[in-house]
Structure 1
């Protein structure tokens, strides 16, 4: 009896589906895309309606052969890659390559991998979506045109190996512009004055005086603005000794509603804030939760709905289930009278639901033993956000108290009465009257979020208008205005989303690409442009203003959405883009400064000959070089101060000599850290890693351990006698003699608790001890 063939893109997804479908279906996986544009050429026929020259990806011929053989034995074919543009492209390419021989080919969309959802999808299959595929093709072709035509120009003008991307370059521009804002920022001094006050003792249950704080809020009718210590001291002197009286009490009871269920961008932002996950990691872990996790005897189960979505819509049955759960677990007071509905952006693809657990009664604690640490942490976050979004709002009781510092009128020098300035201090407190959804979940804030945290439990005494309060002390404090914060992954994703740049499936790739290309560095979660990133951004802004323009890119995203909706032909979109881009590219080829030949002017002069110093590029990064070369061979590392100005870094000479020419070796700073370079550069271009001062632990080797980087940028440690000695250590070596074999080095491992374990670095020994 013939079976139906179901093809998905992931082996994990295939295993999960196979568990539900049983003997009526053969389930196969394509393992991602099967066709793509060639890697070694443009692959777009710009003269003939931008026809893409797709090729079967290396290694996928065998996969396609297996799929074709399975299709020959099946009575119907169902294509079930992910329900988005990329998934549609995979389905389309599989359909093109399969030998279906007239058999029906259906498209099925799995928004969650549960028995109900799988059954429903297979009972109501659709057809391949041409518009969705065209939208994916248009994006792919646009990205290829930008990347493959601008990148060679950067190779020619700056350095080989550089690249530019259509959307990634916009993200880089945002990071660079923020850095320049910070560099231009001039801090302004200001002062605050805080009054430490107390409500006098009273015959009530509270007992003694109740202390609280109030900040100077107003001087006369104007908001307090104190610029100098002298002003602050004068005010303190004037206010000291006055009586403090409550002028106004403002009490408000307000509601704080739960945040909407996760969409892709908000999941990435919150996972970055709460779990310290990179966007790429968040999507990788979410993919595993969606495709299916083994839950013991229950087998493989998809724990969450599809994770690439910009819709906050929730299925009716999911809302009913979560309301049942809230009523059972928290009681009726935590359950709103009707389901909470969240507004979805007009551009969102509402066919997708928000990201939610497939079964709310499958609590995080019930699956904890079956999940890895990262999987459980993300599932716990998604589950809590979903449950909270249907819970009652929190009720917060907020009080604002204005307190005036008053003084009796006195006679002036001329005997006339004068009215002293009125100083008003303000105290603010809030109390959570009913926690509502906050009993389960509260949303984290970005570092640059200026909103106050409503949940702060700052209680104030029971104060009434006209009450007198005691002044304990006045504390003046100096402050300086702060520059804007650097972007984090979370805040950059939020910025891209708010500006309409990128889509749910692209945010993680955008961020990882600008970091992988060494255009941006991430330190303590902050994104900071590298010197290379700043230079490339300046070149792109100057010569390709539209490509890196936020509004232009956002408009293009809307146009791609129109292609998907069938209201804009994708060929016309490509023609309009390319006609303008071709002219811009031609002008850039003529006008872009050749930094490989001329370098980039700095305004600095050579300390040896007085000629201009320019920024030049080597494989280890940018450096300063004299324009008098070859007569003057001066070169230097450089760095930028907090205002972005370039300053030379003095060369650090070492005792080591070049093993090629005998000149002294100097310490240089490159894209992957410090290294040794011959001081005779550019006549001698010899470089070597800096030794750690630890002998190679391999028996019989007289080399020294050095720090290196793999092709993927991962740090490791090896012998400086490579390739004669190919020792590789992935953990940090320390100079500790092994008590078992006498090796001069051991490797150190530190767990999250800070406990250290040491293992012998000599191959074959295996001796280990712990310091805990």
Structure 2
């Protein structure tokens, strides 16, 4: 009997082939189109198997032929036009799958919702041979389930493969795709149509059921920041030296802040230059247990904290490490290592790496390998763990090495003893005024000895003061402070909001943030809403709040999850989605003119159009007409004064050819010409004068951007 194995990506196919082949050397057959497949002689039976692969989603949902207008609910799976190599992979799979009669079809894509949908679509749309039916193919389909691409795990997954596909997971994944495309296509078309019907021209807008509430959260945070009214307060901090030539200590007054400056000044007057006495020392022992194993969200948070990696970058690197069999599957929610995982075997493998040998050996010598755990459990995959596999022959970048080290050292830390320190609170009296000094004395570094990314040094700053010791307060500083607004969101905190609100999935949250950023709704570093993003939320809050409400999105997420658990059915969830969208579009239609007019006014102000001309501000040369961006038919653009039409002003200026240009609503301090702000993909927004070419070289646009 011959077998057809379906992998998700080329690298995974190669790993699976090497693991299942009896000699560990699968035969790679290249098709001449930049793709290939593998032939293997199975290690257990000696039978022949063929391994093909996709490259992400080869199929995507599109409007069915003839489906026009809105609402539209008729979507069909079609070849993914956005995946440039989809056709090549499909052709390669067809060559293998349709020319043979396979006795068994094995889906070996990633064992998660997206992986199951990818494998299922390849099976039903490509692998049915001539003269056969999908039902016949499905009856001979089985599922490999693995969490790492190591030889041992892949062979175990082959031997213990499930005799049928994970149908509930497939149904849930397909449903989520349909729900998302229904919302995306219908609501985006409705907004675009509203602006056009209001006579504001044709502008493509896009909004989705997860993007809406995510954008609203950014706008609400921005609103809280803008509404913040700073309150002034004062602090009094004394500086003393611990003995001759000793460390300078900073003492905090009690209370730590004052609403009246005079109260802080009184402390300075009474205490500066005076002798203070340590009147009491209170101490307590503090323990910090080992951290939980990494799930994807935890790894993204820690990598951002330690290396300043953005979430999308962390996921990309983690996927590379997974495909190189260096870590387990990264798209997991789990913080609990199940008892089926042989942690001792992993530790012994880690010990084989000289960089971790001493620490791994110390853990093994302690015995009783019981890892710490968190609270979340993922039925499909364990937490992110190192495999301990050798890096020999694998080219890793510095960032990839760093993330692998983070995962490996986190694994070591799971088995370490508690970190223990003593927290000491010193009360110090000077001229009847109390001061406080808090310090720490490290007792045991515990698991932090294996995990240098924990700031254990900050827990060992005790100055060694004694009860009754005298200190001279050399200076007392009075500091004027102001209360701070809430901070802007970062990508990590915004993903944290999405996780708490239960919108999006662990795999898509970073991608959703990138989407609303690419559409010009938010800026990054830190994340802030743009005028366009604010206006979209304002319009929907006023006319159709459901589209930016997390409640509706969360309810549909729960429905899709219920399909996977077997308590809901696809048809019921899709019918419910259709009812929601139909009701929303009816409300939208009744307010279409108002919505179109509101959004159109914003376009006229910030990304305005007069035909093909974008308005930037008054022309300083004539003080009569506006400077506009003129876009030609070939998409090239330049800045000109509108006085060119009657030849009253001939100002023409060059402009960069990438990104979106918005007025900065201020003039250049050097020449008086308008300033603009540019938003370009992959770059931080920057401001410059439209007259930049007449300035000195230091004021010109950065090289390569003109």
Please classify the TM superposition score into its range, dividing by the shorter chain length.
0.7 to 0.9
Q: Distance in 2 between matches of 1:336 and 1:405?
A: 53
Is 1:342 equivalent to 2:368 in the alignment? no
Q: Distance in 2 between matches of 1:113 and 1:568?
A: 33
Residue of 494, 497, 506 corresponding to 1:495: 497
What is the deviation of 1:589? 1.9
Matches within 5 A, 1:71-110: 71=97, 72-97=100-125, 98-99=127-128, 101=132, 102=136, 104-110=140-146
- Indicate the residue corresponding to 2:641 in structure 1: 678
CA contact (8 A) 2:421 2:441 kept: yes
CA contact (8 A) 2:442 2:460 kept: no
- Residues 688/399 of structure 1: CA separation in 2 closer, same or farther (3 Å cut): farther
- Indicate the residue corresponding to 1:530 in structure 2: 530
SS at match of 2:428: strand
CA contact (8 A) 1:397 1:433 kept: yes
CA contact (8 A) 1:9 1:31 kept: yes
What is the deviation of 1:62? 6.0
> Which protein has the bigger strand share?
1
CA contact (8 A) 2:414 2:447 kept: yes
What is the deviation of 1:430? 1.6
Residue of 144, 153, 176 corresponding to 1:139: 176
Q: Distance in 2 between matches of 1:381 and 1:329?
A: 17
Is 1:622 equivalent to 2:607 in the alignment? yes
Residue of 215, 228, 233 corresponding to 1:185: 228
Q: Distance in 1 between matches of 2:315 and 2:253?
A: 47
Q: Distance in 1 between matches of 2:314 and 2:203?
A: 32
Matches within 5 A, 1:601-750: 615-617=602-604, 621-623=606-608, 637=616, 651-653=618-620, 666=627, 676-680=639-643, 690=654
Q: Distance in 2 between matches of 1:550 and 1:314?
A: 32
Q: Distance in 1 between matches of 2:594 and 2:554?
A: 31
TM-score w.r.t. structure 2 length? 0.77
CA contact (8 A) 1:653 1:667 kept: no
- Residues 595/57 of structure 1: CA separation in 2 closer, same or farther (3 Å cut): closer
CA contact (8 A) 2:284 2:423 kept: yes
Q: Distance in 1 between matches of 2:479 and 2:509?
A: 42
SS at match of 1:617: helix
CA contact (8 A) 2:218 2:529 kept: yes
Matches within 5 A, 1:195-594: 195-199=238-242, 211-218=248-255, 224-240=256-272, 243-292=275-324, 302-314=325-337, 316=339, 317-321=341-345, 323-324=347-348, 329-330=358-359, 332=362, 335=366, 338-345=369-376, 348-359=377-388, 362=390, 370-407=395-432, 423-441=433-451, 455-456=457-458, 459-522=461-524, 525-594=525-594
Q: Distance in 1 between matches of 2:305 and 2:66?
A: 39
CA contact (8 A) 1:431 1:456 kept: no
- Indicate the residue corresponding to 2:670 in structure 1: none
SS at match of 1:38: strand
- Indicate the residue corresponding to 2:8 in structure 1: 9
What is the deviation of 1:144? 1.3
Q: Distance in 2 between matches of 1:18 and 1:438?
A: 39
- Indicate the residue corresponding to 1:116 in structure 2: 152
CA contact (8 A) 2:439 2:462 kept: yes
Is 1:29 equivalent to 2:61 in the alignment? no
Is 1:155 equivalent to 2:201 in the alignment? no
CA contact (8 A) 1:270 1:490 kept: no
- Residues 200/462 of structure 1: CA separation in 2 closer, same or farther (3 Å cut): same
Q: Distance in 1 between matches of 2:453 and 2:411?
A: 12
CA contact (8 A) 2:109 2:115 kept: yes
- Residues 43/337 of structure 1: CA separation in 2 closer, same or farther (3 Å cut): farther
Aligned residues: 615
Q: Distance in 1 between matches of 2:538 and 2:64?
A: 28
Q: Distance in 2 between matches of 1:41 and 1:381?
A: 50
5-14 or 18-27, larger mean C-alpha shift = 18-27
Q: Distance in 2 between matches of 1:214 and 1:505?
A: 47
- Residues 516/399 of structure 1: CA separation in 2 closer, same or farther (3 Å cut): same
Q: Distance in 2 between matches of 1:499 and 1:454?
A: 33
CA contact (8 A) 2:445 2:456 kept: no
What is the deviation of 1:532? 0.8
CA contact (8 A) 1:189 1:227 kept: yes
What is the deviation of 1:565? 0.6
What is the deviation of 1:652? 4.7
TM-score w.r.t. structure 1 length? 0.70
CA contact (8 A) 1:37 1:43 kept: no
Q: Distance in 2 between matches of 1:244 and 1:667?
A: 69
27-36 or 317-326, larger mean C-alpha shift = 317-326
Q: Distance in 2 between matches of 1:687 and 1:90?
A: 56
Q: Deviations along 1:390-442, whole A, 9 cap, x unmatched? A: 322222222111123344xxxxxxxxxxxxxxx32110112333222323435
- Residues 682/153 of structure 1: CA separation in 2 closer, same or farther (3 Å cut): farther
181-190 or 191-200, larger mean C-alpha shift = 191-200
What is the deviation of 1:148? 1.0
- Residues 157/352 of structure 1: CA separation in 2 closer, same or farther (3 Å cut): same
SS at match of 2:547: coil
Q: Deviations along 1:286-336, whole A, 9 cap, x unmatched? A: 2222123xxxxxxxxx11111111012325545224555579513648958
What is the deviation of 1:43? 7.0
- Indicate the residue corresponding to 1:412 in structure 2: none
- Residues 426/304 of structure 1: CA separation in 2 closer, same or farther (3 Å cut): same
Q: Distance in 2 between matches of 1:402 and 1:708?
A: 53
Q: Distance in 2 between matches of 1:498 and 1:595?
A: 31
Q: Distance in 1 between matches of 2:222 and 2:396?
A: 40
CA contact (8 A) 1:665 1:676 kept: no
What is the deviation of 1:681? 9.8
